[in-house]
Structure 1
Amino acid sequence: MLFVAFAILITVGLAIAISADAGAVFGLTQAQTASAIPLVVIGTLLASALVGRRHRLGEILSGFLVWLAIGAVLILVYTYRGDLQRMGQRIVGALQPGVAIVDRQSGNVHISRSFGGSFRVDSVVNGVPVPMIFDTGASAVVLSLRDAQAAGIDTASLNYSVPVQTANGEGRAAPIRLKTIEVGNILRHNIRAFVVEDNALDTSLLGMTFLETLSRYSVSQDSLELHN
């Protein structure tokens, strides 16, 4: 039991040493608290050797080294917690292409390239999830008929008078205004868009009427970054 208490004390002590606020609880600065930790550890080690005679010194020392290594790992994780968080976000994005990963520090949105080579973006239109393809060649946001209906747009009353060229060939589109469109933490209101006729488009397009509202966007080999 004494050895367990000793191990817990080391772990807690290391956590206190890296916390600027915890030291103030004891009236010490962070530097003073960190300096006191080795003395506490040595004192506890000697007490363990004297009181717990049934434990050999070698066992105590080996246990001490194990917990010291654990403490060092905790310090390392704490020091690089921001980098590790961003790494975790990138891994999630790579495993789930299209998911908008928001960088908490910069507020930028990162999206990983999908397995097909394009950037699939999980957007929200009028409060409804609508998957889109990032397309700088599209002059506006373009919704398929199915996605427009899902977003609550009365497609039957639209005037399909604008000729458009899509991946499925020539078609016609109707101009509309979207109440809201959201990607990650980026929210825009009253965005000009088009709805195409049925079967004219397989997937909606995230075009320039949304992209031009951003401060900038950048494309690398495997990721898309949107700046609010």
Structure 2
Amino acid sequence: MLFIGFALVVAVALALLISSDAGTLVGLTQQQTGQLVPLLVLLIVFAGGAFARRRRASELIGNLALWAGLFGIAMVGYTYRDDLNGIAARVFGELMPGTAIVDAERGTATFRRGRDGHFQIDGRINGAEVTMIFDTGASAMVLTSADARKAGIDTASLRFNIPVSTANGTGRAASVLLDRIEIGSIVRERVRAFVAEAEALDTSLLGMSFLETLSRYAVSSNSLELTD
């Protein structure tokens, strides 16, 4: 019973800490409710003692110390929440380098550099999931033939008459217009792109025809930030 009571108090306190615009709670302001929390703690302690007199004093003190420690950790975590969010984002980015870390308020999508030194970008093209490499040296987005087919493009009807340079050497590509591109929360429509002929390209490229539509993009240390 004592543990349940403390759990409820801690939950209420955390809710007040996390929500800075919590407003009123059962007719009390946030400040008044916060002042009430210590009184509730004392009430639960005395009530617990009344209903569990057989408990040893050392056990009760140990329980109080445990909950005080947990509450202290929660307070420290809230105080340094911005730093912890940054650490969590970096860990998440290392584990899943192609997945965007989205900040909806700032309109950004952030990616971590992969172990191969490239920035892998997992996006959606015409609704299909496509993995691309960030490449400012590409004048336009370039899709592999396989990714183009995934995006619903009929590669058999394309004219591969544009010479392009790729990591595999010189090849040819066809010009297309992509209906929709989604990178994190960033969405663009009708973006110019190339489709490389079969086996001319290993991975699709996120090039300048998309990047130039952004308000900014920046590489710092091991992170890439795209801003809508």
| TM-aligned CA deviation for residue 94 of structure 1 | 0.9
Deviations 1:154-192 (A, max 9, x none): 222222221222111112221111111121111111111
Residues 192/78 of structure 1: CA separation in 2 closer, same or farther (3 Å cut): same
**Where does residue 7 of structure 1 map in the other structure?**
6
Residues 9/164 of structure 1: CA separation in 2 closer, same or farther (3 Å cut): closer
User: Quick one: which amino acid aligns to residue 13 of structure 2?
Assistant: L
Q: Percent of counterpart pairs with the same letter? A: 48
Q: CA RMSD in A?
A: 2.4
**Where does residue 32 of structure 2 map in the other structure?**
32
**Where does residue 206 of structure 1 map in the other structure?**
206
* SS of structure 2 residue aligned to 1:102: strand
Residues 91/53 of structure 1: CA separation in 2 closer, same or farther (3 Å cut): same
* SS of structure 2 residue aligned to 1:189: strand
* Mapped pair 1:52 → 2:52: yes
| TM-aligned CA deviation for residue 67 of structure 1 | 1.2
Structure 2: give runs of 5+ residues left out of the alignment: none
Structure-1-length-normalised TM-score = 0.87
**Where does residue 185 of structure 2 map in the other structure?**
185
User: Quick one: which amino acid aligns to residue 7 of structure 1?
Assistant: F
Deviations 1:56-88 (A, max 9, x none): 333322221211222222333445445534432
**Where does residue 118 of structure 2 map in the other structure?**
118
Q: Is the 8 A contact 1:142 1:204 kept in 2?
A: yes
Question: Is the radius of gyration larger for structure 1 or structure 2?
Answer: 1
User: Quick one: which amino acid aligns to residue 98 of structure 2?
Assistant: G
Count of paired positions: 227
Residues 33/191 of structure 1: CA separation in 2 closer, same or farther (3 Å cut): same
For the residues of structure 2 that align with 1:130 and 1:9, how far apart are their CA atoms?
Answer: 46
**Where does residue 159 of structure 1 map in the other structure?**
159
Structure 1: give runs of 5+ residues left out of the alignment: none
**Where does residue 41 of structure 1 map in the other structure?**
41
Residues 197/13 of structure 1: CA separation in 2 closer, same or farther (3 Å cut): closer
